[in-house]
Amino acid sequence: MGTKQSVFRGRFGRSARAGAIAMVLAIVVGACGGGDSGGGAVESEDPIKITLHDWTGQLLSSNLMAAVLEEAGYNVELVQADYLAQFAGLETGDLTLAMEIWATTGQEALEASLATGKTLNYGETGMVAREEWWYPEYMKERCPGLPDWEALKKCSAEFATAETAPKGRYLGGPVTWGGFDEERVDALGLDFDVVHAGTDAALFAELEAAYERKDPIMLWIYQPHWAPVKYKGEFVEFPPYSTECYNDPASGLTAKAYDCGKPVGPIWKAGWAGIGEKWPRAKTIIESFTLNNDEMGAMVAKVDLDGETLEAVVDQWMTENESRWKAWIGA
C-alpha cells in the first residue's frame, strides 16, 4: 500500500498523507479485528474473491460463505461473474471461489477446468440440484395419470398451443443449459415440440402468465428455486437417470439414448487451486461449509417472495446457526 501511494507523492501529497493515516488505522483496526474474532491470525489479508451469479440461491450461499469467512477474520470481496465464463478467472486466480457449480449444468465445464490443474473441487455444498419437466397442479385434471410420464403419451394435446398444435409445447431452459430435451422427446416418443427460453427470467415470466390464466404449460424447472415454493405443481416422473441411459442407446426402455429423466446431482464448491497455500485455514472452512435444500428453499422464498433483503436473511441465518458455523471455523 505504501509503495503505491508514494508514486503520487509529488502531485497528490495530500492523498499520500491520507494513505499513511489510513495505513496506521488499518494496522490498529486489523489488530483489534484479530482479537475480536478469536479465530487466530489469518494467513493473508488479501481478499478472498467469491463469485456472484444471477440466481438468488447462489447469491445467498455466496453471502453466507462470505459472512462465515469474515467471522474467521478473512477479507472477502464479492465479484459478479458469469457462471461458465468464470472458470477462466478461477484458473488464473483473478477469482478465488465459486459457491455453486451444479452437477446438472456445470459438470462438463468443471471437469474441463479441473483438468488444467489450476482449479480444485472443494466438495459438495450439501444441496442437491434437481431439474426436470414440471407442470402446475391444475394440469392433473386435464391429464390424469400424471406425474407418471406415460400419461404424457396420451394427453400431449392438452399442452398444445396454437403454434405447436396438435403437438404439446414444452418450454425448455436456455440452450446453454443443455438438458437433451429434444433427444428425450424423440427417444420416449412424446408428441412435444421443444421451445427454448433464452433466460431464466423469460422461463418464469411464461410460467407466471400461464399460471394466472390457468393455461396449460409444461416447462423446465429447477430446485432449489422459489418457483416450486410459489406455484403448486409437480415434476414429471421419467424413468430414473443412469449414465448408461445417456450413453448407451441399447439400455433403457427404447432403442435410443436419453430415454430417461435428467440426472439429480450435487452442487459443488469449486475454486482456484492456490487457496490451500495462501489461506490454509480458509480452505478447511470452505470445505466444511454445507447447507441443505430445505434451508435454501426457505431462504430463497423469503428474499424473492416476501421481499426481505438478502442481508437480513443472511444475518438471521448467522444468528440461528451460530454453533454450526463456529464449528466450521474451529472457534
Residues that bind another protein (CB under 8 A): 18, 22, 25-26, 29-30, 33, 45-48, 51, 54-56, 66, 70, 74-89, 94-95, 109, 161-163, 171, 174-176, 195-202, 204-206, 208-209, 212-213, 215, 226, 304
CB of 330 to another protein, least distance (A): 20
- We find the least distance from the C-beta atom of residue 290 to another protein, in angstroms, to be 22
| Three-state helix/strand/coil letters over the chain | CHHHHHCCCCCCHHHHHHHHHHHHHHHHHHHHHHHHHCCCCCCCCCCEEEEECCCHHHHHHHHHHHHHHHHCCCCEEEEECCCCCHHHHHHHCCCCEEEEEEHHHHHHHHHHHHHCCCEEEEEEEEEEEEEEEEEECCHHHHCCCCCECHHHHHCHHHHCCCCCCCCEEEEECCHHHCCCHHHHHHHHCCCEEEEECCCHHHHHHHHHHHHHHCCCCCEEEEECCCHHHHCCEEECECCCCCHHHHHCCCCCCCCCCCCCCCCCEEEEEEEECCHHHHCHHHHHHHHHCCCCHHHHHHHHHHHHCCCCCHHHHHHHHHHHCHHHHHHHHCC
Task: Give least dist CB 75 to another protein, A.
Answer: 3
Q: Which is nearer to another protein, 105 or 125 (CB)?
A: 105
Give whichever of 95 and 329 is closer to another protein, judged by the CB atom. Answer: 95
Nearer to another protein, 93 or 123 (CB): 93
Closest contact distance (angstroms) between CB of 166 and another protein is 16
- The least distance separating another protein from the CB of residue 108, rounded to whole angstroms, comes to 9
The nearer residue to another protein, 66 or 313, going by C-beta atoms, is 66
Q: Residue 47 or residue 276: which is nearer to another protein going by CB?
A: 47
